[in-house]
Each structure stands twice: as structure tokens, then as C-alpha cells.
Amino acid sequence: MEIKKTSLNKLHQSNNAKFVEFAGYEMPIQYSKGIIEEHKFTRSNSGIFDVSHMGQLFIHGDESLTEELEKIFPLDLKNLKQNCSKYSFLMNEDAGIYDDLIITKIEEGYLIILNAACKNKDFDILSNLLGSKFKMNLDNNRSLIAIQGPKSVEILNSIINGVDQLNFMTGNWFDSDNEKLFVTRSGYTGEDGFEISISNDKAEKFVKNLIEKGAQLIGLGARDTLRLEAGLCLYGHELDINKTPVEANLRWAISKSRLSNGGFIGSKKIMNQMQDGARQIRVGIKPEGRLIAREKTKIFNDTDKQIGEITSGTFGPSVNGPIAMGYVDKEFSKVHTKILLEVRGKKYPANICTLPFYKKSYVKGVN
Amino acid sequence: MSEVKFSKEHEWITLEGDVATIGITKHATEMLGDIVFAELPEKGSSVEKDGTAGVVESTKAASDVYTPVSGEVVDTNQSIVDDPAKINEDPEGGAWFFKLKIKDTSELDTLMNKEEYDKFAKETSS
């Protein structure tokens, strides 16, 4: 299969991107400054991320669509205000996660942002569940650009006036350069920032404009270290079809009002696990010293019994040390529990710690 | 000091008497990206030509460091363990990895000189 390219591919090339294949797309892993510089620039200034490989699924419909989606997602969509977003999951009957996603109620219906590797399957699953009653469009004509970091609001507002009035996890349509853009105040770095949905033919010009105002392109490498420091899950690592939201320690994302009556796919399992607890749970892990424990590193207790496995591990540039997330047996999930990580045949000490590793700075209450 | 020689695993080596100093090349650091962890062989241990003698990790992945010759480890550079970013800054100078008392100087003959290595690095990275 031919590798797919986003509308910003040429711009990445001219900025000396190193490319990797990710979910069938040629994506920049880093630019010439490298992952650590890019990571720190995002935390202190403003980083631009091409996330156009992700799915933008528009589903058109009225209140009957809300009712149908409540049968699928563990969300109180009836009481969700227009232009407000929620983090959620598409699950199977066993509450195994097909994908994690952001869903926003818009005037026309809903906009769902899906992971690149899952988007086509998600579309098929949702089409089957919803039938042909609602118009669904996995829009390949639009790019998705994230701008993240403390200077992002000032930079973006100078191009799209009014975005500074958005609260975290809300969005709206804006007009800019004879183009309708959908902008949400959101992201996946732990920083204040925005995601902009823009038609493919306008994307490059838009990003060049952001660069002129002082933002810089950031690759997937720094995106990974940023999200891990922020304690955020990455599908295929922390989340997959064999993990439930309760195991992933994401109960906060399940609307309380939906827990009493259930009625969404996977609700039975979720309600059981909420009551009885899950066997394993996702935790933050801090190795002692400088040791990096990568994905699939085995976790042991002090009597040499395997109690879990790392799902993501790297060096956190802002934490200035190694960080990891993984799953451990529930009885070892308490903060400050001492564990051992097996790396290259030797066992090294580490501690269960609170998430995030790096304090989030989301903006709430601007209006 | 002898001429710098290079291995196909992207290590460099110089010889002073029967003590060799070994590190990884600038080209290797460019391929690895930001180095955030280094592990060195133990002082007094013996290493065999082309065997593993350490580890470097970048933000992206872990890579083994090999020794281009056999010998006994007589010194290691603790400063790169404490501050691995030094390896990116000065890979072919201050950020050497370990020193070996070498057994057989003829093992050096199989290695490349600078010109051969530069050509090899260019061919293998494109």
C-alpha cells in the first residue's frame, strides 16, 4: 500500500523533518533541533503539530442522534452543551477499548476526533451501530493542526480573532481568510493550546503564518514525551481492546449519571469493575536514577513475582529524568510502592508515583 | 597517539601504547538523536571484539555499544553516565566511553580509517 501524506508534507520536508511511517502516513518524528529542544520549546513557547492523520468524523443529526450515541458512549450527551467536548471511548461489550476519542457537540450534530490507526475501523463500527439514518463523513479534505504551549493563545488569536475566549474543552467555528475553521481549545501535551480543523488547501499557508508569528513545528517524538509527562494515554500502548477504562484509571471520563442505569456498550462490565475493582490498573512509574524502562519491560515485586508490565517509557525532558506508565496488580498500585523493573536481564528499583509527571496548565473560566 | 580507526558499528578507537580509547562516532549520535542514558562496562571486566560493552539510549530507543577490539577495561568515563547529553556535544573527544588494555593490536587492522568510514557512513545512511 502506498504511504499516505498529509497536506503539510512538503512543509515538513523543507523544515528538515526526519520521517517515520505512522499508521500508514509519512509523519515527521523530529526536525533538525531534535526531540528535547522541541519538547522544551512547546512547554515554554508554542509548538505546531501536524495531526492531520487523525480522523475527523462529522455525524449529522438532531436529538435522535444524541439518543443513539448515548447507547454507544458512556457520556451524558443530552446535557452536553453545544460546542463542548468530552474525552471518551468506543468500546466493545466487554468494555475493551476500540479507540479513545474526543467528541464535540456542534450545531450540525457531532464531531469526533479519532486515532489515525483506528479511524477506518471506528467508522465501520459506528456505521453498523448507527445504521443509515445519519449522514457520516470521515472528512479527508480537512487537515488538523494542533498548536500547544503558553504562547499559543496569543499567536493563534492574532490570526483567528476570538479564540482566546474559548475555555478548555470547548470549540467553535471561526472565519479566517474566507475559510470556515473549527477550533477547539484542547490538545495532548498538558499545555494550553488549540486544535484547528482546516481544509487541506489552506493548511500550509495557515501553518506558515503561525511560524511567522513565532511558533515552531514539532514532531511526533516530542509529542510522545509531552503526552507521557502529562500522564496521557496513547492508544496501542496504554489502551487497547484488552483494556477497559476502569483498568486504564480513566473512570473520570465516564459520566456519573450514566453509571446508575448503564445502557451503553460495555456498561455491565464497567459497572462491575467500578464495584469490585479491576485486577490490574494503570499507574505512573518513576525509575530511580537515569534508567529508562521501555514498553514491555516486566515489573516485579520484591519477592520476584511479576506484577505487571510497562506500556510507555522514555526520558521526560521537563522532568529531567526517566518516566513511565504501565499496568500493575491492584495491590501494588498505591503511590510510593517500591517495584523492580527488569531491563537487559537485570532488575532495577522504581516507585509507583502520581500522574501527571508534569503539571497541566489548561485554561478554564475565561468566559 | 595512533590514527583514529572506525568500526562498522560506528565506534571510534585510538591507541596509546597498549591502551585503546573507545567511543561512538558523531555520525552515530546524529542517527540516535538526543542521548539521555549511557551504561558502561565494569572496570576490570574483559570484553571480546564485536561483543556488547555498553548501552546508549536516546529519547526514541536503546542501542548497544560494541567494542571493536578485545581487552580488559581499565577505565570508564563516568561523566557521560552523569550527563549523557555530553555524548551529543563532543562524541569524538571528551565523551569517550571506555579504555581497554588490548590483547592483540592486529585486531585494529580490520577497522576502517577516517576516509573509509565517512564513505561507509554515507552509504549506509542513505
B52-58 and B35-39: which strand pairing? antiparallel
Flag whether residue B31 sits within 8 Å of chain A, measured between CB atoms: no
CB contact under 8 A, A322 and B37: yes
CA separation for the pair A85, A170 (Å, rounded): 6
The B residues from 90 to 119 touching A (CB cutoff 8 Å) are none
**Region of residue A118 (left: phi > 0; alpha: psi -120 to 50; beta: else):** alpha
Number of residues assigned to chain A: 367
Alpha helices for chain A (secondary structure H) = 9-14, 35-44, 63-70, 119-130, 152-157, 200-212, 220-229, 267-276
Q: Which range marks the domain in which residue B18 is found?
A: 5-103
Those residues whose C-beta lies under 8 Å from the C-beta of residue A309, and which sit 6 or more positions away, are A296, A297, A298, A299, A326, A327
pLDDT, tens only, A5-61: 999 999 999 999 999 999 999 999 999 999 999 999 999 999 999 999 999 999 999
The reply to whether B43 falls in a domain is: yes
- Mean pLDDT, range A172-185, rounded to an integer: 94
The residue of chain B nearest to residue A291, with distances taken between CA atoms, is: B37
pLDDT for B124: 84
pLDDT, tens only, A286-311: 999 999 999 999 999 999 999 999 99
Q: List the grid coordinates of A172.
A: 467553535
Q: What percent of chain A has pLDDT over 70?
A: 99
The reply to whether B55 falls in a domain is: yes
Peptide bond into A28 cis (omega under 30): no
- Mean pLDDT, range B45-64, rounded to an integer: 94
A109 band by pLDDT with thresholds 50, 70 and 90: very high
Q: Is the pLDDT of residue A67 over 90?
A: yes
CB-CB contact of B101 with B38 (8 Å): no
pLDDT, tens only, A183-213: 999 999 999 999 999 999 999 999 999 999 9
The reply to whether B61 falls in a domain is: yes
Q: Give the position of cell 477506518.
A: A120
The reply to whether B114 falls in a domain is: no
CB-CB contact of B93 with B79 (8 Å): no
Q: List the grid coordinates of A340.
A: 523492580
The reply to whether B86 falls in a domain is: yes
Those residues whose C-beta lies under 8 Å from the C-beta of residue A238, and which sit 6 or more positions away, are A248, A282, A311, A312, A325
pLDDT for B103: 87
pLDDT for A364: 72
pLDDT for A367: 59
- At residue A306, the 3 state secondary structure works out as strand
User: In A, which residues are within 8 Å of B60 by CB distance?
Assistant: 29, 35, 221
A362 band by pLDDT with thresholds 50, 70 and 90: confident
CA separation for the pair A16, A34 (Å, rounded): 11
Q: Half-sphere exposure of A142 toward its Cβ, with a 13 Å CA cutoff?
A: 21
Q: Is the pLDDT of residue A276 over 70?
A: yes
CB-CB contact of A282 with A334 (8 Å): no
CATH number of residue B44's parent domain = 2.40.50.100
E strands, A61-139, in order: 85-91, 97-106, 109-114, 135-138
pLDDT for A1: 74
Alpha helices for chain B (secondary structure H) = 26-32, 78-82, 85-89, 114-125
The reply to whether B74 falls in a domain is: yes
**A292 closest CB neighbour out of B34, B57, B81:** B57
Flag whether residue B1 sits within 8 Å of chain A, measured between CB atoms: no
CA separation for the pair A105, A103 (Å, rounded): 7
Q: What percent of chain A has pLDDT over 90?
A: 95
Q: Please give the tally of structural domains in chain B.
A: 1
Number of residues assigned to chain B: 126
Least confident of A6-15, A187-196, A354-363, B102-111: A354-363
The reply to whether B30 falls in a domain is: yes
**A36 closest CB neighbour out of B59, B62, B81:** B59
Give Cα B41 distance to the centre of its chain: 12
CB-CB contact of A150 with A191 (8 Å): yes
Q: Nearest 5°: CA angle at A28, between A147 and A22?
A: 105
Flag whether residue B45 sits within 8 Å of chain A, measured between CB atoms: no
Q: How far is CA A137 from CA A110, A127, A291, in A?
A: 11, 10, 45
Q: Is the pLDDT of residue B126 over 80?
A: no
Q: Is the pLDDT of residue A337 over 80?
A: yes
To the nearest whole Å, the CA of A106 is away from the closest chain B CA by 38
pLDDT, tens only, A236-256: 999 999 999 999 999 999 999
Q: Half-sphere exposure of A236 toward its Cβ, with a 13 Å CA cutoff?
A: 7
Helix, strand, coil share (%) of chain B residues, nearest 5: 30, 35, 35
Which residue type occupies A356? P
Output the average pLDDT for chain A: 96
Q: List the grid coordinates of B97.
A: 566511553
Interface confidence (ipTM) of the complex: 0.84
CB-CB contact of A230 with A189 (8 Å): yes
Dihedral over Cα of B57, B58, B61, B66: its sign? negative
Which residue type occupies A132? S
CA separation for the pair B56, B81 (Å, rounded): 10
Flag whether residue B36 sits within 8 Å of chain A, measured between CB atoms: yes
The reply to whether B93 falls in a domain is: yes
pLDDT for B1: 60
- As a whole number of Å, the CA-based R_g of chain A is 21
B52-58 and B46-47: which strand pairing? unpaired
The residue of chain A nearest to residue B37, with distances taken between CA atoms, is: A290
CA separation for the pair A129, A90 (Å, rounded): 11
- Domains of chain A, with CATH numbers? 1-230 (3.30.1360.120), 251-353 (2.40.30.110)
CB contact under 8 A, B59 and A344: no
CB contact under 8 A, A294 and B61: yes
Flag whether residue B84 sits within 8 Å of chain A, measured between CB atoms: yes
Q: Half-sphere exposure of A79 toward its Cβ, with a 13 Å CA cutoff?
A: 7
